[in-house]
Amino acid sequence: MRIDRSNLMQQEKLTTTSTQRAQMLCAQAKEREEAGEFEEARLSLSEFWQRIGDRPRLEGLAEPEQAELLLRAGALSGWIGSARQIPGAQETAKDLISESSAFFKSLGLMEKVVETRVDLGICYWREGAHDEARITFDDALQQLGDVVSEQRLRALLNKAVVEQACTRPKEALRLLSEAESLFETSTNHSLKGKFHNVFATVLKYVGLEGQREDYFDRALMQFTAASLSFEKAGHKRFLAAVENNLGFLFVHLQRFEEAHEHLDRARAVLVGFNDKGLVAQVDDTRARAFLGQGRFDQAETVAAAAVKVLREGDEQSILAGALTTHATTLARSGRHSEALAMLDDAIALARQAGDAESGGIAALTIIEELGSILSPADLRTYYKGAESALTHSQHAAIRVRVGACARIVLAAEDSHTPAVRGESNIAPSLPNLRQSNGNTSAGRTQAPTPELELANRSLEEQVLLYEGRLIKQALEASDGSVTRAARMLGVTHQGLAFILNGRHKSLLAARKPVKRRRRSIIRFH
């Protein structure tokens, strides 16, 4: 068979030309993506890829360029899907990135494989699938070994973001502190800006727990460093994200005027970018500010707008948080049934996404805001869900909330026992109770009531009985776990064990058998 060499040469020339063209456009798109110009980055690839949901045109390209084009289309699908709240965008992004990863792996380009793993982990994080995200970032770090590269910095940074989202700020702070020197030597201003922004956010949460002004000062310094880096990178979108984070900090410091100023600046920039997702997050922050100011009607309006936008997209974890904010505004306006339905929705969404912590916080909010309208059984159910979801939380403020909610549950259960049902004040009924001690009108012997039992005892004995009843309820609610019962009662495990062995030995049978445990890798200070 005769081979047409001129036709082969023309095809090779076209392949080379297309490959070089794709290589140049992918580099241009990546540069614009790092500057937060996602739409401009998509337009750079329009010769090979048009929009989210379309498959990139790979024909005629060399394999490395095919893999790079898939990666750029996947990463941009995730970013644009988040900005526009496009349903299914994160799943589309994961598919393209995974295909790109397989391509790079077959070519032996491990640094690019790691890059795909980081981008894949970011998609999982957006969806609220925190465990999958953490595993993916750990896998990226494991593949790099001791190699120090930009992808290592990206993996460490995004793992810290996940730890913070999982209410583990101390772990996030450890990761960022250890990586700080590596980021200082980076020449990637966009990446450095993201590092400073995340570091500031973590410092903010740690500072808020202990009202540590030194941490607030460090957070403000890091936010300033983030702004400077983003300005150098020309990253206006992330500059707006810094403004939102500053607004959030000032909300918690109850400096509401400053908070609104930062939120105004953030929103103006993000509206210009048509970034619906970040605008909704700014609105959620503003709703929290209005709540802090007692402006419930304004808080409800803004929170409702945030929820409406976030319902359109895939970011279930962020939506669960926004629903919790909105429900709080409804509860404080007296719209209890709507608030409860919304918080139940938040719990379900968080569970579906794999974000246990957001679901646990929504359950705590139900107890805090709606405890007066729920039965003790319902309160106990919500408490068990919250306590289980937040077991590994390192947020001192959250642990305080868990303890406070436990006491709400115990108080509600106690108010439904015969001891305090009916008359709220026992003292006026004591004379009648004493007279009726003995027989009923039918002549039958009546068992002493709890009120009578208390009335015939000294104050010290009454306190001991009441203490025992609360401990018994806590042990029953925690299925015999002394650790969980102690958390409910707001005491240490050792403290409750001492009380049981000293003052309430009769309750020892209600506890689970003591097991020898390995030393926990998680410590609360």
Q: pLDDT higher for 126 or 445?
A: 126
Highest mean pLDDT out of 354-358, 444-448, 482-486, 488-492: 354-358
Share of the chain above pLDDT 70, in %: 82
DSSP string, 430-476: HHHHHHTSSB-TTSPBPPPPHHHHHHTS-HHHHHHHHHHHHHHHHHH
Q: Which residues contact 510 (CB under 8 A, 6 or more apart)?
A: 472, 475, 476, 480
Residue 451 has pLDDT above 60, yes or no: no
* Residues 64-105 pLDDT 10s: 999 999 999 999 999 999 999 999 999 999 999 999 999 999
Residues in the chain: 525
Query: Residue 107 has what DSSP assignment?
Result: T
Predicted confidence at residue 501, as pLDDT, reads 75
Predicted confidence at residue 50, as pLDDT, reads 93
Chain centroid, CA 199 distance in Å: 16
Q: Say if CB 87 and CB 53 are below 8 A apart.
A: no
Residue 205: pLDDT band with limits 50, 70, 90: confident
What are the structural domains, with CATH classification, of the chain? 15-147 (1.25.40.10), 450-514 (1.10.10)
Average pLDDT score over residue span 392-420: 78
Span of 86-95, 455-464, 475-484 with lowest mean pLDDT: 455-464
Highest mean pLDDT out of 134-143, 418-427, 454-463: 134-143
Rounded-to-integer distance, Cα 164 and Cα 169, Å: 5
What are the tokens at 388?
Answer: 């289980």
Q: Say if CB 22 and CB 58 are below 8 A apart.
A: no
* Residues 161-197 pLDDT 10s: 999 999 888 899 999 999 999 999 999 999 999 999 9
Residue 121 has pLDDT above 50, yes or no: yes
What are the tokens at 445?
Answer: 């012997």
What are the tokens at 335?
Answer: 């719209």
Name the region of 362 (left: φ>0; alpha: ψ -120 to 50; beta: rest): alpha
Instruction: Print the SS3 string covering 46-89.
Output: CCCCCCCCCCCCCCCCCHHHHHHHHHHHHHHHHHHHHHHCCCCH
Query: Residue 35 has what DSSP assignment?
Result: T
Other beta carbons less than 10 A from residue 65's beta carbon: 23
Span of 163-172, 319-328, 441-450 with lowest mean pLDDT: 441-450
Measuring CA to CA, how many Å separate 340 from each of 302, 312, 374, 408? 19, 22, 10, 17
CA-closest candidate to residue 58, choices 15, 87, 8, 5: 15
- On the CB side of 232, CA atoms within 13 Å amount to 13
Share of the chain above pLDDT 90, in %: 63
Query: Which secondary-structure segment (H or E) carries 294?
Result: none
Average pLDDT score over residue span 297-306: 97
Torsion over CA: 293, 297, 300, 301 (sign):
negative
pTM of the shown model: 0.75
